[in-house]
A and B are shown apart, each in its own frame.
Chain A
């Protein structure tokens, strides 16, 4: 079951440059997308989200872009900092599904390393 795919297992960028993390999904019922960051031995920490009615959401250094026709979203981190080094998970939900909570379907994650 690969409804949410993060095809690149890792990404390495130089401090100060842009990090672009990609995510694809196959379920057209997904209408809410989230990015979580995870450090070792900790739980996933919510970073940013986007509803399917938007194509961009920005919060400080983090911007998420959604291309519904391509079923693709990306997380941009500008400028990247060494403290951003972590595993980043893309997750999706179907909020319009009646009678159910908004369970999250996760991708496998991308390990981001930001080099000083």
Chain B
């Protein structure tokens, strides 16, 4: 069964450093998303992406964040200058259509020290 994959599974970085989280969505899906879950809190929407552009972004997704689909398979989330409060589990998701359920990857645990 096709699945969303994410790399790395755990990333440790120092405050102020740039990180890139990588995702490979399910191959025939057209809609892509990033969510995050800070420890003990809800899963929160960050950004959605369709047709090579951002469709919607939350208040969390400020100028420090960017997303890219550099080729036909990868979908990346970049944080330019990480802060301590960016420490969270980051989930990538994809769906074939906006009205379908979203399929989530296993997540990348980002730890900012």
Contacts and interface: CB of A to CB of B under 8 A. Distances in A.
Interface string B44-80: 1100111000011010000000000000000000000
How extensive is the interface on chain A, given as a class? 20 to 34
A11 to B, nearest CB: 18
Interface string A38-77: 0001111110010000000000000000000000000000
A7 to B, nearest CB: 13
Interface of A: 32, 34, 36, 41-46, 49, 89, 91, 95, 99-109
Given A41-B106, A100-B48, A103-B48, A46 B101 contact: yes
Given A32-B99, A95-B99, A102-B98, A44 B44 contact: no
18 contacts: A32-B99, A34-B101, A36-B104, A42-B107, A43-B6, A43-B107, A45-B104, A46-B102, A46-B103, A91-B43, A95-B98, A100-B48, A101-B48, A101-B55, A101-B56, A101-B98, A102-B95, A106-B44
B4 interface: yes
Nearest to A95: B99
A47 to B, nearest CB: 9
B101 A44 contact: no
B105 interface: yes
A106 B91 CA distance: 13
